[in-house]
């Protein structure tokens, strides 16, 4: 009886974990710029990368995770001016890095591209 309960719990855990992985639909955009933003919060300085990506007729600016003071590669392997794989998920912009990993950022600005 105990083995059956443990097995059922393990099965539930595995199916929940597999169902939680969300597949993103990527589109090709262009990486326009990568800069760093520094903020002072309660006496502590925080640096974050700001990514600017053009996707169709919109240009998105998105804030990435914290970056180390020693980090010289804010773009995490992405090259400004190159095509980049991008997915939009609500207020999040997901970039596909050259190593195949996803870089999750939060959209802070959307601008319609001038024609």
What are the chain's domains?
Answer: 24-112 (2.40.50)
- Give the percent of the chain with pLDDT over 90: 44
Give this prediction's pTM: 0.74
pLDDT digits 0-9 by tens, 60-111: 999 988 887 776 777 788 889 999 999 999 999 999 998 989 999 999 999 9
Sequence-distant (6+) residues with CB within 8 A of 47 are: 36, 37, 38, 66, 67, 68, 69
Per-residue pLDDT at 7:
65
pLDDT digits 0-9 by tens, 4-30: 676 666 766 666 555 455 688 899 999
Per-residue pLDDT at 113:
84
Mean pLDDT of the chain: 83
Per-residue pLDDT at 19:
47
With cut-offs at 50, 70 and 90, classify the pLDDT of residue 41.
confident
- Look at strands 58-66 and 83-89 and give their pairing: unpaired
The dihedral formed by the CA atoms of 6, 9, 14 and 20, expressed in degrees to the nearest 10: -160
């Amino acid at each position: 009886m105990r083995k059956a309960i443990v097995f059922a719990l393990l099965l539930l855990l595995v199916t929940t974990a597999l169902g939680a992985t969300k597949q993103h639909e990527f589109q090709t955009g262009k990486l326009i710029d990568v800069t760093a933003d520094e903020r002072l919060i309660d006496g502590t300085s925080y640096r974050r990368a700001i990514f600017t990506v053009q996707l169709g007729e919109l240009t998105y600016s998105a804030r990435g995770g914290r970056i180390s003071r020693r980090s010289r590669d804010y773009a995490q392997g992405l090259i400004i001016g190159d095509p980049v794989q991008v997915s939009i998920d609500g207020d999040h912009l997901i970039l596909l890095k050259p190593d195949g990993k996803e870089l999750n950022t939060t959209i802070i600005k959307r601008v319609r591209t001038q024609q």
